[in-house]
Structure formats: C-alpha cells, structure tokens
Structure 1
Amino acid sequence: MADTSYVHRLHAGAPGKPILFVLHGTGGDENQFFEFGRRLLPEATIVSPRGDISEHGAARFFKRTGEGVYDMDDLARATEKMAAYVKDLTVDHGASQILGLGFSNGANILANVLIEKGLFDASVLMHPLIPFQPKPNPELAGRRVLITAGQRDPICPVPLTEALAAYFETEKAKVTTEWHAGGHDIRPNEIDAIRTFFEPYF
C-alpha cells in the first residue's frame, strides 16, 4: 500500500468548516505556517505536513537535481501522495471546502496537485516556480488561485510567474496576482492579499 502519511501538525476545526493545508518552503517544517493558518481561519481544520524529502538536511516535498531543475519522477510521486493525503484528511474531518497555502517548494507541490488533480477549491501560491508547461485540466475552471511574487525574485523569475498565472487563466480558474518589489521573501502586502483572499471562508 502506498504511503500517504506525513509528520504533521493538525488543528481540528468546527464541523462543516473548510480544511486548510499549509505547506512550508525548503528547509521549513510543519511549524512554519501552522499558527499563521490558525490565525487566518480560526474555525477551519488546519493541517501542516512536513516534507518527506531531505536535501542536505532541509525538508522538501519532492527531489530536485539543481536550482529550478526538478526530478519529474519524484514530483509525480509526491503529487500522488499529497493528493491522497488531502483527500483522506478532508473526508476524516468532514470539511466543506479544501483550501491550500504554500510557500516556495510548498507552493510548487500545491501548484502541481492543482495542475494534475484540481482538488483544491482555493489556493495561495507564494513564490511558486513551475519550470515546465503544465497540461490542460478542465477541472480548474472556477477554482480560485492567488499567486504572490517578488519582482526581483532570483529563484522564481517574473516571466515564469506570469506564465503560471496565464496557464490558470487559460484553464478558466479565477486568478489574482499580488507582486512586491523584493525577492524571495514574504512582504506585508502579500499577507494582506492572503487575508482578503480567504475572507469568504471565515
């Protein structure tokens, strides 16, 4: 049987409320965004898994062979595992909607689950990098996506961020993009945009 478990933190929310998965960046862990998620949606179930790959001691959700060069076989493995994990916990907690928030590597696994499976009703992709052409997926129609990014991000170049936003728009997702003038860091306007994005799920 496939392994669909992660080391994680979990806050069980109120019945019939959404479930929010918060996914850390490279070198983070299940603590990185857990309390942030609880503050964003106090009545939701919050799930924060730790990536199951170690890159020189730094936790990640899938392997890579270099900066921006993904091990596509392992990305496929990780996507299947994350999708099964999300489905299982959503059923376990009777959640009304499935929400996701990921930063950097966490945004990349979240984005690829969206690309392959749909699944998430609303997703925040903070500084994502998808360095390949995603496949069409009609299940993305109507799903809400917020992309946040830095105009001087050396890890996630502006053209690739714009290409990802255009992909989701082509698939008829409801896309919002929030930029700041910095790099691969989280700025206050991103936090404000995230709060506004999740307001319908309070």
Structure 2
Amino acid sequence: MSKDDYIYEALPGRPGGPLLFVFHGTGGDEHQLVGLGRDLAPSAAIVSPRGDVSEHGAARFFRRAAEGVYDMADLARATGRMAGFIEAHVAAAKPSAVWGLGYSNGANILASVVFARPDLFDAAVLMHPLIPFEPQVKGSLAAKRLLVTAGRHDPICPPVLTDRLLAYLRDGGADVTAAWHEGGHEVRPNEIEAARTFFGASEFQGA
C-alpha cells in the first residue's frame, strides 16, 4: 500500500480531527469535490484521489463496458488498490475518524471499498451511487453510518436500484439515511444540506 498510488490533492484539517476522502464523478479530477468536502466538513483533513482509468479522456476509478455494465475484474482491482491507498493515508494521519464522500462513479468506488473493507470507514456519503450487482460484504456493516442521496428521476441510476441498495445496507446492520430529490443525476441543495448535517452528527458522535 502507498500514499502515492494515485495522483491526489490533500488539504490539512484540525490536528487530530477526522480525515475525509472525496471521490469525483466520471470526467472529474482530484479538484472536483475538494471545495464541497471543505464546506461539508470544515474541521476534516481532505484527501482527494484522481481516478486512474481513462474513458475517452474522462477520468474514472474503474472500467465499464457500457452505462451500468461494469468490468467486475477491474472493479476488484480498483477496490483493492484504493483500499491500500486509504489505509496508507490513515496510517500516516492517525485521524479521530475516517469519512468518505463520493459522487456517481466516485460513490461507486467508495461503496465497493466499504463492502470490501468495512473497517476502513466510520461514516460515508454516497451521492447517486449505481450498484447493479449483489454486494459481497467482507466483514460487518453494523454501526457504520451511511447517507445515500438520489434523484427520483435519475436516468443513470434508477430509483429501484437505489432502493435495493438501501435495503441491502439496512439488512446488513448499517445505520442508513436516505435523501431524495425529484430531479435526476444532479446534486441538489437538499443533498448538500443532508450531507452537512450527517458529517456534523458524525463528528459529534465521534464516528
């Protein structure tokens, strides 16, 4: 595992405070969500990696054959590499808590890491995740605090798949909150407010 497995941006936070990892959407980069992360979690140190896969010039965290059709072997590769990257940064920073925030493709890699290594994160926000497969959790989701945000008319992530993910997480014992809006795949103000409240409560609870 290495802190330099990905190109990334890092911002300092309060000494001994939480560490927030942020994961951009397709076509974004390590700068896309840093400002949002700082707004939502002002006391947290932030690490924002850039996806290491190019899809017609657009950065992603893993390959896909088509919209919603994932290269599962590459997702496994990316999940293992990202877990090592996160572990290395956590070992160096020794934070009070480890949080995650991802949008779209970034939410998907974050979710995949949570499934593979539930021990790595205390709390995570998944904005418009698309999980078109049956997750295999290697550990326990009990007491993990998760916020899932979604659009009722999202053309990329059908609400039925979001509902299935929510049910799966809850069945696994996670403490899950959902924030919906009536739009599509875009991030709306109510999602941002829900995430701000979520991270504020996570810090208060010491998560």
TM-score (norm 2): 0.94
Measured against aligned partners, the alpha-carbon deviations of 1:46-97 in whole angstroms (never above 9, x if no partner) come to: 0111100000000000000100000000000000011111111011111111
Between stretches 93-102 and 1-10, larger displacement belongs to 1-10
- The one-letter code of the counterpart of 1:140 is L
- Report the equivalent of 1:24: 24
The runs of 4+ residues in structure 1 deviating greater than 6 Å are none
Contact 1:4 1:84 in 2 (8 A): no
- Count the aligned residue pairs: 202
- Alignment partner of 1:104 is 2:108: no
- Report the equivalent of 1:199: 200
The within-5 A match list for 1:43-82 is 43-82=43-82
Gaps in structure 2 of 5+ consecutive residues: none
Shift of 1:3: 9.1
Measured against aligned partners, the alpha-carbon deviations of 1:128-167 in whole angstroms (never above 9, x if no partner) come to: 0000111244421100010000000010001100010111
Shift of 1:39: 1.9
- Report the equivalent of 2:7: 7
Shift of 1:42: 2.0
- The one-letter code of the counterpart of 2:34 is F
TM-score (norm 1): 0.96
Instruction: Give distance in 2, aligned partners of 1:22 and 1:138.
Output: 23
Name the Cα RMSD after superposition: 1.5
Instruction: Give distance in 2, aligned partners of 1:133 and 1:117.
Output: 16
The within-5 A match list for 1:49-198 is 49-118=49-118, 119-198=120-199
- The one-letter code of the counterpart of 1:26 is T
Identity of aligned residues (%): 57
Between stretches 2-11 and 149-158, larger displacement belongs to 2-11
- The one-letter code of the counterpart of 1:168 is L
- Report the equivalent of 1:39: 39
Q: Alignment partner of 1:194: what SS?
A: helix
Instruction: Give distance in 2, aligned partners of 1:113 and 1:184.
Output: 22
Shift of 1:41: 1.8
Instruction: Give distance in 1, aligned partners of 2:193 and 2:123.
Output: 16
- The one-letter code of the counterpart of 1:197 is F
Measured against aligned partners, the alpha-carbon deviations of 1:21-60 in whole angstroms (never above 9, x if no partner) come to: 0100000111111011112222211011110000000000
Gaps in structure 1 of 5+ consecutive residues: none
